[in-house]
Amino acid sequence: MLLLEPTENAFAVRGRFRLAEARDRNAWAHPVIFDGRLYLRYLDTISCYEIRTAHSPRKS
């Protein structure tokens, strides 16, 4: 997984991580961003990551 920041001419990598170890078959769902969180599902595992920056306003 990569967190990319678009620049004028390219993308800058701002973070990266391996979500899960590969298995015999793949079954990825579409990633979802909601209320400053990234939700990822791989087979029977769901992960949630806080992606809001410190200066991002929180919705009320």
Q: What pLDDT was estimated at residue 6?
A: 92
Can you give the pTM of this predicted structure? 0.62
Q: What pLDDT, in 10s, does the model give residues 9-18?
A: 999 998 888 7
Residue 31: closest CA among 21, 19, 22: 19
d(CA 39, CA 9): 28
Please tell me whether residue 55 adopts helix, strand or coil conformation. Answer: coil
Evaluate if residue 49 carries a pLDDT over 60.
yes
Q: What pLDDT was estimated at residue 59?
A: 61
Q: How confident is the model at residue 51 (pLDDT cuts 50, 70, 90)?
A: confident
